[in-house]
Amino acid sequence: MSDYALEARGLTKTFGGFHAVKDVNLKVRRGSIHALIGPNGAGKTTCFNLLTKTLTPTAGQVLLDGQDITKLRSAQVAKLGLVRSFQISATFPHLTCLENVRVALQSNNGTAFQFWRSLKAVEPLNQRARELLAQVGLAGREETPATELSYGKKRALEIATTLALDPKVMLLDEPTAGMGHEDVEPITDLIRKVSAGRTILIVEHNLSVVSSLCERITVLQHGEVLTEGTYAEVSTDPEVITAYMGGVDD
Amino acid sequence: MTRILLLAALAVVALAAPFFVYPILLMTILCFMVFASSFNLLLGYAGLLCFGHAMFFGTGAYIGGWLMKEGGFSIELAFAATTLAMAALGWVVGLISARRGGIQFAMITLAISQFVYFLLLRAPFTHGEDGLQRIPRSDLFGVIDVSSNLSLYYLILAISVAAIWFFYRIVHSPFGEVLRAIRDNEGRVESLGFVPERFKIVALTLSAGLAGLAGAMKASVYQIATLHDLSFHVSGTIIFMALLGGLGTMAGPMVGAALIVMLNDHLAQFGEWALIIQGTVFLVVILFFRRGLVGELQAFIRRRSAKA
């Protein structure tokens, strides 16, 4: 088994001649929390979408546990244990919290196409769904429609839904984006808690979150890898400082 | 408990109604309730706006009518065969359209329905503009006579209740749960390892089957099947019924269907004015009752109970 849970080789995406992502090589070590950072427009989200198969790369390869997943659809990738979250919180607003998580649990349950059975058929999943909700601090909110949750709680629900698939690799797209200060810390703690036994790649703007969570950091600029290292290394790199502070823009 | 009482009251009303109201009107209401529910399954629970839903209803009327008139089928077999045939058509339409969402899906279904319209206009067995006339109400199981309005009413009532129960079962099934999730956020469902198209195709298959059944029932009630049942006008009417009653509620589109059928029946005496009155009602609903009648009622009850 490869040391790296997720690997990108020469990943490139062009939109009509514009290189959004260019020859990105990325290795995410198994069991680590790895961050992808960079100034606005650096191609973080495009890169992220390529890794999760939401976009198809123009060139290059994506490997999950050493297996080439470049040609697979995002649903197939999810079955292999690579699950993403979204920048805009992705819950099912008109479903209750319990239903939100239960839908994800149905993914591996073989009941999803049973239109002739009552919901009793999925009641055995409720126990696990309640555990997952409790894990993210949503105990007692099982019957609340997702739309009525606060922004921070929606993100927590989204993480519970993702955890329902018991993914080997979780990709989190700006988990604290748009969050008030009081919500950032609980979510950071939650990510640390659920990272046990998993590999996490996270795209994040908030550098204090990155510094407290991530062992390795890859910095993107203009769609290319600028540098990679620990937070201490990266944050003192003159090129990174220039990229963030503006400086002389090639 | 209130629910059981409500259902019991409804059952009494439904059983006694034909002695007070013209049975043909009641049966029309039932047919459109089933048709509206099939539409609701798509738009209200899967987020799919089918702009040509009349193709399943109208084609169902032709097939059901032809099987009873020329095929010598007993009534229940004609209904069952029509349901299966329309489910098959729905499956084919799903294969073509389900990869698309939103307005593209609406336009593709509209295009296919126009295609089916002209196909049936040209097909010899439909008798073109004349339609299929004098369709017999063939015996139930080949032995029980249902040719009178009253006996047919009870048969149509029983089948409609079964169809609506089936609709309820689909919505409240493991499949229905995933379907509602797709309606809310398709991309997310896909990222959880599902292939949303497959669910949409199944939903379209089931919905088309129910719509076809409604069409076959209507053919047995009016003993005629015409191109009108396939027309865009009927596709539009069903959208109106669903919006009037309230999308995404179980009962809403059925209430909408009943109201519109009764309104049309009542307004028939006003001739052209009927359309103007209908348009006004539509405007009022869009402006003031966005959730539809049943949707607004539910919201009102929720607010009341939240206060209490």
Buried b (16+ CB within 10 A) or exposed e, B266-298: eeeeeeeebeeebeeeeeebeeebebbbbbbbb
What is the signed CA dihedral for A90, A194, A168, A141, rounded to 10 degrees? -40
Q: Say if residue B204's pLDDT is above 90.
A: yes
> Minimal Cα–Cα distance from A12 to chain B, Å?
22
Contacts of A108 in chain B (CB under 8 A): 193
Contacts of B303 in chain A (CB under 8 A): none
Q: Is-contact A230 A215, C-beta < 8 A?
A: yes
By Cβ distance, the residue of B183, B191, B202 closest to A78 is B191
What was the ipTM of the complex prediction? Answer: 0.84
Tell me the fold of A4-93+169-245.
Answer: Rossmann fold (3.40.50)
Q: Is-contact A100 A78, C-beta < 8 A?
A: no
Identify which of A39-43, B74-78, B208-212 has the greatest average pLDDT: B208-212
> Minimal Cα–Cα distance from A55 to chain B, Å?
12
Question: Average of pLDDT values for B260-281?
Answer: 82
- What sign does the CA torsion over A214, A220, A223, A225 have? negative
What is the per-residue pLDDT for B96? 92
The per-residue pLDDT for range B66-113, each reduced to its tens digit, is 999 888 888 999 999 999 999 999 999 999 998 887 789 999 999 999
Contacts of B185 in chain A (CB under 8 A): 90-93
Give the global pTM. 0.87
Identify which of A95-99, A217-221, A246-250 has the greatest average pLDDT: A95-99
Quick one: tokens of A167?
């993914």
The per-residue pLDDT for range B275-302, each reduced to its tens digit, is 788 888 888 888 888 888 888 888 888 8
Go through the domains of chain B in sequence order and give each one's CATH number. 23-307 (1.10.3470)
Note whether A75 contacts B193, CB cutoff 8 Å. Answer: yes
Note whether B185 contacts A91, CB cutoff 8 Å. Answer: yes
Least confident segment among A146-155, A235-244, B24-33: A235-244
Nearest Cα to B199, choosing from B228, B221, B175?
Answer: B175
By Cβ distance, the residue of B169, B187, B202 closest to A113 is B202
Q: Which residue of B has its CA nearest to A118?
A: B173
Domain segments of chain A as ranges: 4-93+169-245
Least confident segment among A159-173, A236-250, B4-18, B68-82: A236-250
By Cβ distance, the residue of B172, B192, B199 closest to A107 is B192
A51, A94, A115, A116: best to mutate for the B interface, most B CBs within 10 A: A115
CA distance B224 to B61: 8
Q: Is-contact A83 B192, C-beta < 8 A?
A: yes
Q: Say if residue B63's pLDDT is above 70.
A: yes
